[in-house]
Amino acid sequence: MGKIGIEKLVIIGPSFFNYLDAIKEEIIKIGVDTEYIIETGKVDFFTKAIFASPILSKIFSLYIKKRHEEILNACIKKGASQVLFISPKSMSNYLLDELKENNIKVYLYMWDSFDNQPASIDFLKKFDKCASFDPVDVNKFNMKQINLFAEEIYFGGNNKRNKDFVFVGTAHSIRPLIIEKLLKKYPERYFNNFIHLYRGNAYYFLKALIQIRFRKFNIFSKDSISKEIIATQFKESKYVLDITHPDQNGLTSRSFEAIASGAILVTNNKNAKEVLNLFKDRIIEYQNVECINVDENSFSEMKANEKELYELSLNRFCYEIINLVNTRYE
């Protein structure tokens, strides 16, 4: 660990599909003592809303300050030498200054755009280094580009691809409307699909229903599903649909997982072929769902070498994160 230049890394980020667990475990395998802290502390709806809403975060500013004090104390107690914030929903001079006062270096990695998660944008100069998955933010703010990843469970593929289309995601942004149009264009009796449009909390669900004018209640799923189920569905499908948020230019983990599973990625992300250049022949870009025209005869199983698969992997992502926070190279 001394050679790497990291004595103790503490990651602070969201509770989101257990991604932080996976990142932590992979970095530990590489040889860095790592722990993580959930930024919000609690993961109930009310606490998440306080951190996510600009209005509520001002009303409950003392609550957030208290949480920042808890984060600071936890980092000191854990003996952190470096702290990596992942797409924080809140930030303060107090937290960053106090961490530095305790000889802890601070780093930022964004897996969302600043347009969607602006909490850190006014504090960029206080971080020792910054990186993002969003190529527009990388160029605008002179940050390091670190693309996302697929976990090992998604790699493999399956000769029995008995599904034409799979979509798995939370029912927010433009997703419900696109899924509704997609199902109208490709009725299930003609097009075998697996759609898991997770409605999440009541706010997302109501907003989604209003968006589609209450026309199709049955496209929503009330229960979350495991990575094992998602990976199996991807491996059994010819095409995986990924719908990015408006104002988001980085490529989501869903896109990496789709390619890793051997499926063809169908995405509205205009940067997909550039980010995943090694796999551009397995990407279909669209700007409107009406433009999707999948030719069943065009599908073929992926043939990729070890180097190409590494570019999709969590292992590659974690090595790039280590290089970001590694004081040996500063």
Write phi, then psi, for 162 (nearest 5 degrees).
-95, 5
Residues 293 and 185 in one domain: yes
Q: Per-residue pLDDT tens for 66-113? A: 999 999 999 999 999 999 999 999 999 999 999 999 999 999 999 999
Q: What one-character DSSP code corresponds to residue 134?
A: -
Residues 302 and 177 in one domain: yes
87: buried, middle or exposed (CB in 10 Å: 19+, 13-18, 0-12)? buried
Residue span of the structural domain in which 220 resides:
152-310
Q: Domain for residue 1, yes or no?
A: no
Q: Domain for residue 19, yes or no?
A: yes
Task: Report the CATH number that the domain containing residue 145 is assigned in CATH.
Answer: 3.40.50.2000
The number of distinct structural domains making up the chain is 2
Q: Domain for residue 2, yes or no?
A: no
pTM: 0.89
At 145, which amino acid appears? Q
What are the angstrom distances between the C-alpha of 14 and each of 52, 244, 250? 11, 18, 18
Q: Domain for residue 264, yes or no?
A: yes
Residues 131 and 35 in one domain: yes
Residues 66 and 138 in one domain: yes
Whether residue 214 is predicted with pLDDT greater than 60 in this model: the reply is: no
Number of H helices, E strands in the chain: 13, 12
Residues 222 and 271 in one domain: yes
Which pLDDT score, from 0 to 100, does residue 246 have?
76
Residues 161 and 184 in one domain: yes
Q: Domain for residue 4, yes or no?
A: no
Residues 142 and 286 in one domain: no
Q: Per-residue pLDDT tens for 153-197? A: 999 876 788 888 898 987 777 777 778 777 777 766 567 888 887
> For residue 114, which of 96, 89, 83 has the smallest C-alpha distance?
89
Residues 29 and 91 in one domain: yes
Residues 138 and 178 in one domain: no
Its sign, for the CA torsion 234, 287, 274, 119, is negative
